[in-house]
Amino acid sequence: MQILRYMKGFNILIVFLMIFWSSEAQNTQSETGKHSNSTEMYASFGEKIEANGAIGSKEMLAAYETMTIKDSLQTKFTGTVMEVCKAKGCWMKVALDNGEEAMVRFKDYGFFMPKDIEGKEVVLRGLGFKSILSVEDQRHYAKDAGTSEEDLKKITTDKKTYSFEADGVLLKQ
């Protein structure tokens, strides 16, 4: 009789441990950055964000067009990656509408993106703003992207740009 009580307690302990290990395995998977969002798989970078509620790239361009250099907008939008820093993934350019693009950097250099994601869809959350990109910065980013020395010399004037500082990014898998 005593042995049956111990076996019952042991079986209950085993069930609890299995549940605990199962939930730990799920937590480990989400910490590595892969999670499902609206039945689609995303790799997550930076702060954890959700894909729902993001505006499209056309709406983001419309928002940028109404801004002045001093304005900013906390938002979340989707777009297609056009270019990524080939040195370490520390910036990317995301397509907007009508051939425009947003220069995306990552908050406090807290995370980087894979270097081979051109053409992939991303969801970005953060701060959008207009800025002036100096000749020096333009050359720096162009060099990171693998631009030739000859083409680097063609960059001679500052450029008004749509900028975005992302605190979280989802990369569609």
CA distance 53 to 77: 8
Give the pLDDT confidence score for residue 37 in this predicted structure: 52
pLDDT at 33: 52
Q: Which residues contact 166 (CB under 8 A, 6 or more apart)?
A: 46, 104, 105, 106, 107, 124, 125, 126
pTM higher than 0.75 for the full model? no
Positions of the chain with pLDDT lower than 70, given as ranges: 1-39
At residue 24, the pLDDT reads: 41
Q: Is 140 helix (H, G, I), strand (E, B) or coil?
A: helix
Relative to beta strand 101-106, strand 159-172 is parallel
